[in-house]
Amino acid sequence: MNRKIISATLAVCLSALLFAGCGSAGSKAGANAAKPTQDRSGNAITIPDKVEKIVSMAPSVTEILVDLGYADRIVACDTYSGFSPFAASLTPDIPQFDMMAPDNEAIVALSPDIVFTTGMSYAEGEDVYSAVKSAGICVADIPSSASIDDIKADMTFIADAVGAGDKVRDITAKMDTFIADVKKVAGGISDKKSVMYVMSVPTPDYPDVYTCGKGTYMDEVFSLIGAQNIAGDIDYQWPALSEEDILAKNPDVIIVGDTYTPDAVNAILSIDAWKDITAVKDGAVYSIDGDAFNQPNQYVMNSAYEIASYIYPDAYSGVEKPFK
């Protein structure tokens, strides 16, 4: 894979491998509501009563913490969080670590109360946080969300872990309201359009299109708004579609989430082999913020709104963007 495919894949293809959980962490003064006793991978964890210092090793988690009002408690983050749009909310010059090869010694030196990790860190079959856990620091793993319900459960777990349960329930309630509004509209759509999601614009050297298949929240989003994901019947989360696959599927609409290719829409429209695809002939190729769609948190609902507005502009004209 080239760099942009790797980056796009890293953002979404997070491993669900299970590893040993948190070491025992001493409780601090102060009482919060009951803390989770398992992380999202099912590992037993012990979270301090009062969480004041957080290391966030996933951009989706960092954004949730920022929106919960905990930006000032983040003492270190992953490098993806470091160059994200919401990085400006973090304390300037906090340490940043590679999520695949974190500096355990540096993390331990920060004495965090909790470290939130992503399954991507364990993708190569190694517990890269073993030294952090051995130091008695709580490490809570959150594998890739496979559904919208998973996203809400992950957000609730994070908030309950840091003592912000009430705040997150307001956010998930807003998600539920938006989903209910979308379902009302989608229920009246009889002519469902076929859609292809493009994670990375193909090139002569890398002609396949990486997209979302069955068992992903992205596929669920397309179904939610009343569209048909052309890869939704593929029993693999992140399939690569060949040129022949794409021509055979002939999507009505193409949604491009490539944030690395300049003018990605015109790059798609300029692919000569695709000139007879319905989406290309009709000019139904639209660019969205792929980074936002790739991050499993409440802003996936904004992506759903954006996609729905492109595919069915008239039907969704009365639905409001859920998060400003």
Going from the C-alpha of 1 to that of each of 203, 208, 214, 295, the distances in angstroms are 11, 10, 22, 21
299: closest CA among 8, 84, 141?
A: 84
Sketch out the chain's domains with CATH numbers: 17-143 (3.40.50.1980), 188-311 (3.40.50.1980)
Q: Residue 34 has what pLDDT?
A: 87
pLDDT attached to residue 125: 65
Position 176 scores a pLDDT of 98
Q: Please name which of 107, 145, 109, 114 lies closest in space to residue 45, comparing C-alpha atoms.
A: 114
pLDDT score of 8 = 46
User: Pairing mode, if any, of strands 209-210 and 240-241?
Assistant: antiparallel
Task: Give the model's pLDDT for residue 123.
Answer: 63
Q: How far is CA 121 from CA 11, 67, 141, 159, in A?
A: 12, 24, 9, 21
Q: What is the residue whose two structure tokens read 């007879």?
A: 276
d(CA 60, CA 296): 6
Q: At which residue do the structure tokens 């802003």 appear?
A: 299
**How confident is the prediction along the chain (324 residues), in pLDDT tens digits per residue?**
444 444 444 444 433 333 333 443 333 333 346 899 999 999 999 999 999 999 999 999 999 999 999 999 999 999 999 988 889 999 999 999 999 999 999 999 999 999 999 877 766 668 899 999 999 999 999 998 999 999 999 999 999 999 999 999 999 999 999 999 999 999 999 999 999 999 999 998 999 999 999 999 999 999 999 999 999 999 999 999 999 999 999 999 999 999 899 999 999 999 999 999 999 999 999 999 999 999 999 999 999 999 999 999 999 999 999 998
Phi, psi of 255 (to 5 degrees): -105, 125
C-alpha to C-alpha distance for 52 and 75, rounded to whole angstroms: 9
